[in-house]
């Protein structure tokens, strides 16, 4: 149990004084400021509640019971009935000396009761006690939030492993997401089509503080230039031919939540300018409208093109690029993380089996070998569709080679992989070939393989892969 006497008084604590008598209010304010506290004065209950409702963050409230309009009793009940304010200590000040008034104030939730006129030393002593209580509460809240964040991080990692796999590349993305999901930071996802960028965007929203608000998806390539602005920002009735009514845009629909702008590289220069303003000022107008609307949204974008290259070609605004590129995640293609294929195949097998009412238990060895050998140009999306086909074709409880689409070809003819053998043999051959292609430049090889250099060094040591210089030195 924490000793309250050892808990420090919060420095620069903010104190709200609710007192209708001007002289008393100034006296209390001066007394608090002499101790290094910040003090604000409210002459009545209505003003005090409005200040608290608008985000007034106070560590202690000194409350007179006899107030004009909204009484001190009403203010006390509203504070203690509010989920956010109830833990702010309240010291009641009153000229009423009845025992019943004291008991009633404590029953309603006041932490202390002082009769006027107050003794200076007694008041300062009790204020210090209340501020220690406030500090102790904040410490406990911080500890609790830390535990909650740790739990949320663990849940996020488990979910990500469930839907994307457990390869080093996925673990590296999880490390970045640990620092991102709980913030409102703009995230840009780059990678080939079908790699799971949309899924990552959902993960970012699902484990953010906006998780209970809307997650709105916009495929920017699906709309012509003339309609994309209307889709994003909405339009007023009569703004253009066919605008027969007012329409709220996707940014309005995503209020409080997350908007995911897929294929962001496809938007026109005019829409890029409008989006830049939304990111900078968090404001926009509907097409044909004059009312300025505030955009309380988190923005996540995705593209299968290199936005940096688009900027260099003059096809994308550089200032917008830097606004979007606060945190960038490169989602590697499935061929660069083959260890995820069996995991994802089994995940899709179960999910499709449950949806189609066909419980399946796994794959025949030949079928799994074929899945491992295929180059997967369509990435995870193609794997998911192949598994749906397999589930539909399968009549037993195990997926056989014959249940897979013919386009997967023969594993001995698969691109970039040896004729057959175990997974680690295939991985060793792929790493060795890539190193030779890059003239044993490990930085370039790691980049092509989609792994960190430290991961590459570890795999080289595990598989006994040596550069020509190392081999010559040994000989």
What confidence tens digit (pLDDT) does each residue in 237-264 have? 887 888 788 889 899 999 999 999 999 9
Instruction: Out of 84-93, 277-286, 422-431, pick the least confident.
Output: 422-431
CATH assignment at residue 458: 1.10.10.60
**H-state helical runs in 376-465:** 379-393, 423-437, 442-449, 453-463
- φ, ψ of residue 381 in degrees (nearest 5): -60, -40
Q: Using pLDDT thresholds of 50, 70 and 90, give the confidence band for residue 415.
A: very low
User: pLDDT value at position 4?
Assistant: 47
Give residue-wise pLDDT tens across range 440-450: 888 777 777 76
User: pLDDT value at position 322?
Assistant: 94
Residue 350 lies in a domain: yes
Mean per-residue pLDDT, 292-297 = 90
Q: Which of 98-102, 281-285, 413-417 has the highest mean pLDDT?
A: 281-285
Q: Using pLDDT thresholds of 50, 70 and 90, give the confidence band for residue 112.
A: confident
What single string gives the DSSP state of each residue in 183-237? S---EEEE--TTSSHHHHHHHHHHTSTTTTS-EEEEEGGGS-HHHHHHHHHEE-T
Give the separation between CA 40 and CA 341, rounded to whole angstroms. 62
Residue 218 lies in a domain: yes
Structure-derived torsion over alpha carbons of residues 22, 24, 26, 32, reported in degrees to the nearest 10: -150
Q: Using pLDDT thresholds of 50, 70 and 90, give the confidence band for residue 436.
A: confident
- Residue 2 above 50 pLDDT? no
Instruction: Out of 9-18, 307-316, 351-360, pick the least confident.
Output: 9-18
Give the separation between CA 388 and CA 407, rounded to whole angstroms. 15
Residue 160 lies in a domain: no
User: pLDDT value at position 416?
Assistant: 40
Instruction: Out of 113-117, 215-219, 384-388, pick the least confident.
Output: 113-117
Q: Are residues 119 and 253 in the same domain?
A: no
Closest CA to 108 of 137, 142, 72: 72
Closest CA to 259 of 222, 300, 210: 300
Which one of 332, 350, 370 terminates a domain? 332
Mean per-residue pLDDT, 378-392 = 93
Percentage of residues of the chain with pLDDT beyond 90? 33
Q: Using pLDDT thresholds of 50, 70 and 90, give the confidence band for residue 157.
A: confident
Beta strands 283-285 and 234-235 are unpaired
Q: Within 10 Å of residue 240's Cβ, how many Cβ atoms?
A: 12
Mean per-residue pLDDT, 46-73 = 87
Q: Are residues 20 and 77 in the same domain?
A: yes
Q: Are residues 262 and 409 in the same domain?
A: no
CB of 59 within 8 A of CB of 78?
no
3-class DSSP assignment, residue 359: coil
Residue 63 lies in a domain: yes
Which one of 332, 363, 387 terminates a domain? 332
- Residue 61 above 60 pLDDT? yes
Which one of 308, 332, 356 terminates a domain? 332
CATH assignment at residue 404: 1.10.8.60
Residue 393 lies in a domain: yes
Task: Mention every residue, 6+ apart, whose C-beta is less than 8 A from residue 405.
Answer: 386, 389
**What are 260's strand-pairing partners?**
217, 300
Give the separation between CA 472 and CA 380, rounded to whole angstroms. 42
| Residue 418: both structure tokens together | 């040896």
Q: Are residues 254 and 181 in the same domain?
A: yes
Chain-centre distance for alpha carbon 418: 41
- Residue 12 above 50 pLDDT? yes
Q: Are residues 326 and 356 in the same domain?
A: no
CATH assignment at residue 293: 3.40.50.300
Q: Using pLDDT thresholds of 50, 70 and 90, give the confidence band for residue 423.
A: low
- Residue 414 above 70 pLDDT? no
Residue 47 lies in a domain: yes
What letter does residue 110 receive in the DSSP assignment? -
Q: Within 10 Å of residue 45's Cβ, how many Cβ atoms?
A: 23
Structure-derived torsion over alpha carbons of residues 46, 48, 49, 54, reported in degrees to the nearest 10: 120
Residue 150 lies in a domain: no
Mean per-residue pLDDT, 290-301 = 92
User: pLDDT value at position 327?
Assistant: 94
Ramachandran area for residue 474 (φ above 0: left; ψ -120 to 50: alpha; else beta): alpha
- φ, ψ of residue 235 in degrees (nearest 5): -150, 160
| Residue 368: both structure tokens together | 């799994």
Give the separation between CA 412 and CA 15, rounded to whole angstroms. 76
CA distances (Å), 308 to each of 274, 276, 298, 312, in order? 20, 16, 22, 6
User: pLDDT value at position 417?
Assistant: 41
Is the preceding omega at residue 117 within 30 degrees of 0, hence cis?
yes
User: pLDDT value at position 425?
Assistant: 63
How many residues make up the chain in this entry? 475
User: pLDDT value at position 469?
Assistant: 63
Query: What residue numbers bound the domain in which 387 lies?
Result: 335-413
Mean per-residue pLDDT, 113-127 = 87
Q: Are residues 383 and 317 in the same domain?
A: no
Average pLDDT, the chain: 84
Q: Are residues 322 and 374 in the same domain?
A: no
- Residue 34 above 50 pLDDT? yes
Give the separation between CA 347 and CA 341, rounded to whole angstroms. 10
Higher pLDDT, 52 or 54: 52
Residue 277 lies in a domain: yes
Q: Are residues 12 and 80 in the same domain?
A: yes
How far is it between the farthest Cα atoms of the chain?
Answer: 99
């Amino acid at each position: 149990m924490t000793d309250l006497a050892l808990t420090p008084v919060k420095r620069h604590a903010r104190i709200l004084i609710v007192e209708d008598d001007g002289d008393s209010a100034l006296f209390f304010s001066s007394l608090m400021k002499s101790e290094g506290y910040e003090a604000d004065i409210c002459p009545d209950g209505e003003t005090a509640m409005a200040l608290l409702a608008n985000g007034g963050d106070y560590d202690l409230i000194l409350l007179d019971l006899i107030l004009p309009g909204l009484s001190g009793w009403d203010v006390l009940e509203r504070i203690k009935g509010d989920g956010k304010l109830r833990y702010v200590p309240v010291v009641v000040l009153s000229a009423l000396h009845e025992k019943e008034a004291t008991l009633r104030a404590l029953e309603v939730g006041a932490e202390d009761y002082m009769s006027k006129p107050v003794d200076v030393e007694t008041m300062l002593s009790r204020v210090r006690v209340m501020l220690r209580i406030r500090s102790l509460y904040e410490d406990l809240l911080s500890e609790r939030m830390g535990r909650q964040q740790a739990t949320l991080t663990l849940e996020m990692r488990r979910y990500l492993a469930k839907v994307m796999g457990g390869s080093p590349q996925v673990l590296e993305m999880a490390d970045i997401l640990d620092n991102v999901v709980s913030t409102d930071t703009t995230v840009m996802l780059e990678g080939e089509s079908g790699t799971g960028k949309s899924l990552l965007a959902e993960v970012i929203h699902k484990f953010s503080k906006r998780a209970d608000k809307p997650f709105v998806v916009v495929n920017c390539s699906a709309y012509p230039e003339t309609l994309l602005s209307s889709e994003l920002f909405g339009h007023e009735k009569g703004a253009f031919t066919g605008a027969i009514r007012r329409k709220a845009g996707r940014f309005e629909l995503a209020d409080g939540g997350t908007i995911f702008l897929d294929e962001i590289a496809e938007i026109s220069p005019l829409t890029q300018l409008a989006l830049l303003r939304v990111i900078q000022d968090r404001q926009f107008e509907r097409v044909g409208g004059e009312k300025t609307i505030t955009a309380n949204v988190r923005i996540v974008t995705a593209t299968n093109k290199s936005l940096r290259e688009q900027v260099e070609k003059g096809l994308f605004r550089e200032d917008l690029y830097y606004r979007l590129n606060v945190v960038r995640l490169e989602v590697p293609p499935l061929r660069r993380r083959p260890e995820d294929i069996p995991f994802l195949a089994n995940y899709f097998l179960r999910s499709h089996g449950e949806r189609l009412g066909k419980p399946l238990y796994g794959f025949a060895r030949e079928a799994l070998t074929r899945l491992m050998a295929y180059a997967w140009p369509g990435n995870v999306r193609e794997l998911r569709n192949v598994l749906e086909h397999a589930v539909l074709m399968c009549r037993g409880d195990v997926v056989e080679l014959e249940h897979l689409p013919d386009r997967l070809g023969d594993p001995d003819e698969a691109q970039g992989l040896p004729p057959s053998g175990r997974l680690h043999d295939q991985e060793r051959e792929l790493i060795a070939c890539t190193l030779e292609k890059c003239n044993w430049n490990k930085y370039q090889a790691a980049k092509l393989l989609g792994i960190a250099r430290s991961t590459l060094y570890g795999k080289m040591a595990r598989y006994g892969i040596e550069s020509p210089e190392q081999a010559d030195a040994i000989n």
